Structure 1
Amino acid sequence: MNYIFEVLPSLLEGAKLTLEIFFWTLVGALPLGLLVGLGLTSKFTPLRAVLRFYVWLMRGTPLLLQLIFVFYGLPLIANGVLTLQRYDAALFAFILNYTAYFAEIFRGGLQSIDRGQYESAKVLRLSYWQTIRKVVTPQVIKIVLPSIGNEVINLIKDSSLVYVIGLGDLLRAGNIATSRDVTLTPLILVGVIYLILTALCTYILRKLEQHYSYWR
């Protein structure tokens, strides 16, 4: 127990960075995913083609590779002009990646809404954005919430990939303690912390699903 209390502060410090990456990725990727999802259902063919290529690229390549490319590759391509700090590079790569996944989820939700509801909104003289905000989005949120929940849980675990660009996240803190002290105890604690985080997210997501279940 003495050893656990000795290494726990460094693990919690790493967990703080993990939560920051998790939170800001959601803040950036969810609204962008909705916008890209709207673009994917647009009748403007060039926009739809560009967004489809973006989604295909982000979903078709590993997030680890995207992190390496953003941090190490962009400065080489831009001759040092476009250089991001480690934390900024991680956020940029995570938001780009998860925006693509959320966009596909939102696209499926948007396409499940009956076209008659758009026509009814026109009869009521609602603008396109009023229709999206007041009629479509509340229904889409209920439809896509389980799929969004799966991606949120994945995001908690994917945040461990930032170690590859040298950020001191939870997993990196555990690896350092394990290498230094030659014991698996820090990694076991890392696993417990991840389980606690995913359990909290699962609980919150279930509460959200219950909140929207009054439409059932």
Structure 2
Amino acid sequence: MTEQTRPAKQTGPSSEWQPSALQRERIAYRGRQARRSTLIAAVSSVILLALVVVGVTSTPGWPRVRETFFDVHRGWEALPVVAQGLWLNVRVMLVCAVLIVVIGMTLAIMRTLRGPIFFPLRVFAAAYTDVFRGLPLLLVIFLLGFGVPALQLRGLPNQAVIWGGAALVLTYSSYVAEVFRAGIESVHPSQRAAARSLGLTYRQTLRFVVLPQAVRRVLPPLLNDFVSLQKDSGLIAVLGVIDAIRAAQLETAIDFNFTPYVVAGLLFVALTIPLTRLTDYVARKQGWYGGGGGPV
């Protein structure tokens, strides 16, 4: 083909790709369907919420319930005290979360060690997870919070908040250990074999090859455990610790108005929702949720 017969190279906007008429029609149809689904979802939600509100407020005992549980003025009065108690819950949760991750990872590694020499470590890790996953959390809090200080051992703290946090750490680390172990065992053995063939030691293989993949795979269920930890941190109130729940209880004892409990619940929800949304985002990004379904 000579230069005279070769077609000239197109330049400018006309050379850019443009969707066909059929593709534009498909895009417009999907947009209409998305707007229609959003509208239907919004209208149905408003109707359902209105029916619930009308059904609850029309009951004979609603005026008394509103005065006892939803007194706005009483809620604003109790908010500073309950929020101060919530700050203790946040600090307990943050400290416990760090310890839980460290202990849980250690237990998971101990359970995945190979060789007869590590048999005692595997037995200890298995017994630990079995015992503390079988014991109710509230029972562990009672045993540590009331039992250990009663021993009057020198050198041990007597603060209830410390033993309440210890109960949270012991219980949740058993669950987190199983989450980490599932992630470690999900890594294909060929990954270990490839790392060892490159000259990496067992410790280097675990650190640079296995654990990064395992942690990334178990991040959504791990965040779910921390969501539960946020809520269960309120159980330390049974030891007399002035956290959000205990502060609400003391405020309620003044006039037997239960609005402070509602305030405490709303604060816990406001604390939990951001981490819940983060968990959903991470799970969706990693493909834990199905990709089917419509836009709503």
TM-score normalised by L of structure 1: 0.90
Q: Which residue of 2 aligns with 1:110?
A: 184
Whole-angstrom distance in 2 between the partners of 1:109 and 1:207: 19
Say whether 1:196 aligns with 2:267.
no
Whole-angstrom distance in 2 between the partners of 1:74 and 1:7: 33
Say whether 1:22 aligns with 2:93.
yes
The secondary structure found in structure 2 opposite 1:40 is helix
Q: Which residue of 2 aligns with 1:165?
A: 239
TM-superposed CA distance for 1:86, in Å, is 1.4
Q: Which runs of 4+ in 1 moved over 6 A?
A: none
Q: Which residue of 2 aligns with 1:9?
A: 80
Whole-angstrom distance in 2 between the partners of 1:48 and 1:13: 43
The secondary structure found in structure 1 opposite 2:153 is coil
TM-superposed CA distance for 1:83, in Å, is 4.5
TM-superposed CA distance for 1:170, in Å, is 0.8
Structure 1 unaligned regions, length at least 5 = none
The secondary structure found in structure 2 opposite 1:167 is coil
User: Residue 131 of structure 1 is aligned with which of 205, 210, 215?
Assistant: 205
Q: 1:189 to 1:75 in 2, by over 3 A?
A: closer
User: Residue 80 of structure 1 is aligned with which of 153, 178, 191?
Assistant: 153
Root-mean-square deviation (CA, aligned residues, Å) is 1.8
TM-superposed CA distance for 1:130, in Å, is 2.1
Query: Does the CA contact (< 8 Å) of 1:71 and 1:83 recur in 2?
Result: no
Say whether 1:186 aligns with 2:257.
no
Q: Which residue of 2 aligns with 1:155?
A: 229
Identity %: 32
The secondary structure found in structure 1 opposite 2:204 is helix
Whole-angstrom distance in 2 between the partners of 1:169 and 1:75: 20
TM-superposed CA distance for 1:205, in Å, is 2.9
Whole-angstrom distance in 2 between the partners of 1:72 and 1:195: 29
Q: Residue type matched to 2:142 in 1?
A: I
Say whether 1:90 aligns with 2:161.
no
Q: Deviations over 1:150-181 (max 9, x none)?
A: 21111111111101111111111111112212
Q: 1:79 to 1:12 in 2, by over 3 A?
A: closer
Query: Does the CA contact (< 8 Å) of 1:74 and 1:83 recur in 2?
Result: no
User: Residue 47 of structure 1 is aligned with which of 116, 121, 129?
Assistant: 121
Query: Does the CA contact (< 8 Å) of 1:55 and 1:100 recur in 2?
Result: yes
Query: Does the CA contact (< 8 Å) of 1:142 and 1:209 recur in 2?
Result: no
Structure with max Cα Rg: 2
Whole-angstrom distance in 1 between the partners of 2:92 and 2:76: 25
Query: Does the CA contact (< 8 Å) of 2:224 and 2:279 recur in 1?
Result: no
TM-superposed CA distance for 1:133, in Å, is 2.1
Q: Residue type matched to 2:144 in 1?
A: V
How many residue pairs were aligned? 212
Q: Residue type matched to 2:248 in 1?
A: G
Whole-angstrom distance in 2 between the partners of 1:41 and 1:161: 32
Whole-angstrom distance in 2 between the partners of 1:207 and 1:143: 14
**Bigger mean CA deviation after superposition, 199-208 or 103-112:** 199-208
Whole-angstrom distance in 2 between the partners of 1:95 and 1:211: 29
Whole-angstrom distance in 2 between the partners of 1:26 and 1:167: 19
Whole-angstrom distance in 2 between the partners of 1:38 and 1:6: 49
TM-score normalised by L of structure 2: 0.67
Q: Deviations over 1:185-215 (max 9, x none)?
A: 11111111111111011133345446767xx
Whole-angstrom distance in 2 between the partners of 1:91 and 1:128: 34
Whole-angstrom distance in 1 between the partners of 2:170 and 2:140: 9
Q: 1:31 to 1:83 in 2, by over 3 A?
A: closer
TM-superposed CA distance for 1:184, in Å, is 2.0
Structure 2 unaligned regions, length at least 5 = 1-71, 288-296
